[in-house]
Amino acid sequence: MRKLRFFLSAVLILALASVSLAHPGRLDAQGGHTNKETGEYHYHKGPNALESLEIRRNTVYKAKIERVVDGDTAIVSFIFDDGSKYLKERVRFLGVDTPETVHPTKGVQYYGPEASNFTKSQLTGKVVWLQTDVGAKDRYDRMLAYVWTEEPSKADLEDEDAIRAKMFNAKLLLDGYAQLMTIQPNSRYANLFVHFQREAREAKRGLWGKDPE
């Protein structure tokens, strides 16, 4: 019996050690923690553990695009470590403004359908990484985020080549589907986005290609 107790104790200690190595550091009240290397927020509780989520600033969240509303807005669900999904959120893409397609008063604007269809074709059903800035939400309670189509490393967050290749907000500007719109105080990439818009305009890409009819 003593040997059995010793064996079970040893197994328990090894199991706890394994967990601590896999997920170093304390978990917060929401059952997760922020990776110090990448800035990405990880959940460790299942989908029924949370009824609400406090969106943090300067943090990266893994999510799935459930539905695209228009060119710069989508409905997402956050992804937990066990692969389950929970907590749907409406996300407004930071730094960009695509022409309207579903606005109640503005109607369908020039190049709006093209921008909306492009975002739908690129993001619907895809796993993305949502990077917040200084302000995590707007006055309409929408999450504000830069959308990465590939998981960004810490270095990627400061690298222009990585931003061009992996950030969807940048792609909207570079391909002429959106114009620059800075929602203060969220201006982390504002100077770079000015350059991207100028590049698209000079090349007459997308909405810059011709005058609205």
Instruction: Tally Cβ neighbours within 10 Å of residue 140.
Output: 7
Where residue 33 falls among pLDDT bands split at 50, 70, 90? low
Catalytic residues: 92, 100, 142
pLDDT of amino acid 108? 76
With pLDDT > 70 as the criterion, what percentage of the chain qualifies? 71
Give the gyration radius of the chain's Cα atoms.
21
CATH of the domain at 93: 2.40.50.90
pLDDT of amino acid 26? 60
pLDDT of amino acid 166? 98
**What pTM does this model have?**
0.76
Q: Give the helix/strand (H/E) hosting 137.
A: none
Domain annotation covers residue 28: no
What domain range is 98 assigned to?
A: 33-206
- Give the pLDDT confidence of 83-122 residue by residue, as tens digits: 666 678 999 999 999 998 877 777 778 888 999 999 999 9
Q: Tally the domains of the chain.
A: 1
- Distance between CA atoms of 127 and 150, rounded to whole angstroms? 8
Query: Counting Cβ atoms within 10 Å, is residue 139 exposed (0-12), middle (13-18) or buried (19+)?
Result: exposed
Once rounded to an integer, what is the mean pLDDT over residues 52-79?
90
Domain annotation covers residue 45: yes
Once rounded to an integer, what is the mean pLDDT over residues 62-77?
95
Mean predicted lDDT score pLDDT of the chain: 82
Domain annotation covers residue 6: no
Domain annotation covers residue 12: no
Domain annotation covers residue 23: no
Where residue 20 falls among pLDDT bands split at 50, 70, 90? very low
Where residue 149 falls among pLDDT bands split at 50, 70, 90? very high
Domain annotation covers residue 11: no
Domain annotation covers residue 14: no
Higher pLDDT, 35 or 99: 99
For the cut 50, the answer to whether the pLDDT of residue 18 exceeds it is no
